[in-house]
Amino acid sequence: VQEARLKFDKFLKKLSGLNVNPSETASNGPGQLPGFLPTLHDYLFDPDERRWVAWSALVPAYAPPADGKFSSIVVPTSDTVRTSWLLESVVNGSPAPQPLLW
């Protein structure tokens, strides 16, 4: 999967013709693409903020389950945040329809 994401990322960046900003601290808004993390799959474009946000920046702190059961443990990661966002968008239509790279 990662190899395919790298190929698609390279293709999409070339096709877009937009500048790729390799800085970790720069705010990448419309008209430029983030380039610090390996692929665009590592980012979400936030239309309200009008900038790219790394999925890793959206990972909440771990909180143990209240019931204390091992089967209830879900450790938040970039992947769980991205998957939860996608499922929420598809199932509830919330947030409003947005461009999606999966």
Please list the residues that pair with 45 across neighbouring strands: 52
Alpha helices in 1-102 (DSSP H): 2-16, 78-92
Specify the pTM: 0.77
The pLDDT tens digits of the residues spanning 10-60 come to 999 999 999 998 888 767 888 899 989 999 999 998 888 888 999 999 999
- Report how far residue 98's alpha carbon sits from residue 75's, in angstroms, rounded to the nearest whole number: 26
Distance of CA 10 to the CA centre of its chain: 17
